[in-house]
């Protein structure tokens, strides 16, 4: 059985692209901070705690952002949630 083709208006595609770009930027920033703290913790062990707390805070935020984006994208595309 074939599913109906869903058309997403260009304005919504542009909004999705903007949101995706924002998420990529946020991930890049978080990873840059983690990399910098990782390098610093090699030279100064007292930075290890800051690195750990940053990773513990940023990783769930990244996952949540990606899940929210995926949900919106699936809704726009008319995809059914996985069981």
pLDDT in tens, 22-52: 999 999 999 999 999 999 999 998 889 989 9
Sequence-distant (≥ 6) Cβ neighbours of residue 48 within 8 angstroms: 41
Q: Tell me, yes or no, whether 66 lies in a domain.
A: yes
- Expressed as residue numbers, the domain containing 23 is 10-77
Tokens of 17: 């692209």
Please check whether residue 30 lies inside any domain of the structure.
yes
Decide if 4 is inside a domain. Answer: no
User: Which has the higher per-residue pLDDT, 3 or 11?
Assistant: 11
Mean pLDDT value across residues 52-70:
93
82: in domain: no
Cα→Cα distances 18→13, 53, 57, 69, 81, Å:
9, 29, 24, 11, 23
Residues 12 and 76: beta-carbon distance below 8 Å:
yes
Examine residue 39 and state whether it is found in any structural domain, yes or no: yes
Report if residue 54 sits inside a domain: yes
Number of domains in the chain: 1
* Model pTM score: 0.73
CB 83 within 8 A of CB 14: no
Mean pLDDT of 59-82: 87
**pLDDT classification of 78: cutoffs 50, 70, 90:** confident
């Amino acid at each position: 059985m074939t599913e109906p083709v869903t058309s997403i208006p260009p304005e919504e595609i542009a909004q999705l692209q903007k949101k995706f770009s924002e998420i990529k930027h946020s991930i890049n920033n978080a990873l840059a901070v983690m990399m910098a703290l990782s390098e610093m913790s090699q030279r100064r062990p007292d930075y290890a705690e800051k690195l750990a707390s940053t990773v513990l805070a940023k990783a769930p935020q990244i996952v949540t952002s990606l899940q929210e984006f995926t949900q919106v994208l699936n809704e726009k595309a008319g995809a059914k949630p996985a069981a």
